[in-house]
Amino acid sequence: MTAHPAVSGSLAGQYALITGASEGIGLGIAEAMLRAGAHVMIAARRRTQLESAQQSLHESASPGQRVEIAEVDIRDPASVSALFERVDDAFGELNVFVANAGSGSMVRFLDMTEETWQSTIDLNINGTFRSCHHAATRMAARPDKSRNASILVVSSIRALGTRPGTIHYATTKAGLNQFVRVAAYELAEVGVRVNALSPGITATPMALERNPEVFEKMAATVPMGRAGSVEDMGSAAVYLSGAAFVTGTNHIVDGGESLY
């Protein structure tokens, strides 16, 4: 449970689990946590992508740092239970949990189907709840209450404003923001912190591949003149995960995009 002599940083020697971390923002957060000295486990649905991400992370890891992978579908209670049992076996403790797994699509309200609405809720709300509940239960029971215990929920600035086609996604993210506030209040007494990270438009491989011209136009409207990077999100995640007196916050990382 101690840091390797070659490893330093704000999260040195700590154990972090990140869901939805085989690519994009989740992988960027895992990379940042490695740089901060943590051992990491990345979890996602597709093993091939996980193995590729693991290889990439190993290349930047310091001697003694561990990079583990685990398949999980957070919509499935049994799969989530198995994930946290793997964390127990591999790490023995959990200091940082990042609930990043989630998804959304552009569907206007009048075209919304029951299936799309429900599947978004099942993934973004229900999946986040059950994974955070597993993490919180373990953290609350930790023998050494001085050890860091941080839950970070990846939300979105879409919860703060209105944009056509995002009603299902925005509704779930707004729900997560309140979930974070209530969970933070309840868990404060056992020393478990809960915060939200709300990215704006972010240059992930998926976002850039979908429609690069539209992405470029949207990025140009950001007051700071560019889209966010996965490194921007990773550095914010490291800060929130290690900030000992910060809980119940919604940390917006969007270059000012939500100001208009």
Q: What's the pLDDT tens digit per position in 105-151?
A: 899 999 999 999 999 999 999 999 999 999 999 999 999 999 999 99
Is there a contact between 154 and 199 (Cβ–Cβ < 8 Å)? yes
pLDDT at 3: 44
Over the range 158-185, which residues count as b (16 or more CB within 10 Å of their CB) and which as e? Answer: bbbeeeeebbbbbbbbebbbebbbebbe
Q: What are 140-193's pLDDT values in tens digits?
A: 999 999 999 999 999 999 999 999 999 999 999 999 999 999 999 999 999 999
Q: Which helix (H) or strand (E) holds 187?
A: helix 167-187
Report which of 139, 151, 155, 160 is spatially closest to residue 94, judged by C-alpha positions: 139
pLDDT at 2: 45
Task: Provide mean pLDDT across the span 241-251.
Answer: 98
Q: What is the signed CA dihedral for 206, 208, 117, 248, rounded to 10 degrees?
A: 80
Q: What are 25-55's pLDDT values in tens digits?
A: 999 999 999 999 999 999 999 999 999 999 9
Is there a contact between 75 and 101 (Cβ–Cβ < 8 Å)? no
Is there a contact between 172 and 240 (Cβ–Cβ < 8 Å)? no
How far is residue 166 from each of residues 87, 110, 160, 217, measured CA to CA in Å? 34, 12, 12, 18
pLDDT at 213: 85
Task: Provide mean pLDDT across the span 61-89.
Answer: 97
pLDDT at 24: 95
pTM for the predicted model, two decimal places: 0.94
| Amino acid identity, position 27 | L
Which residues have a Cβ under 8 Å from the Cβ of 251 and sit 6 or more positions away? Answer: 195, 196, 197, 198, 236, 239, 240
Residue 1 above 70 pLDDT?
A: no
pLDDT at 4: 47
How far is residue 128 from each of residues 154, 191, 257, measured CA to CA in Å? 10, 20, 25
Report which of 33, 147, 46 is spatially closest to residue 94, judged by C-alpha positions: 147
Which residues have a Cβ under 8 Å from the Cβ of 137 and sit 6 or more positions away? Answer: none
Q: What are 187-239's pLDDT values in tens digits?
A: 999 999 999 999 999 999 888 877 788 889 899 999 999 999 999 999 999 99
The residues spanned by each domain of the chain are: 15-251
Q: How many helices (H) and strands (E) does the chain have?
A: 9, 7
Gap between the Cα atoms of 151 and 162, Å rounded: 27
pLDDT at 6: 58
Catalytic residue among 169, 185, 239, 260: 169
Examine the residue annotation and report whether 169 is marked as an active-site residue of this protein: yes
Residue 103 above 70 pLDDT?
A: yes
Residue 78 above 70 pLDDT?
A: yes
- Give domain 15-251's CATH number out of 3.40.50.720, 3.30.70.20, 3.40.50.280, 3.40.50.740: 3.40.50.720
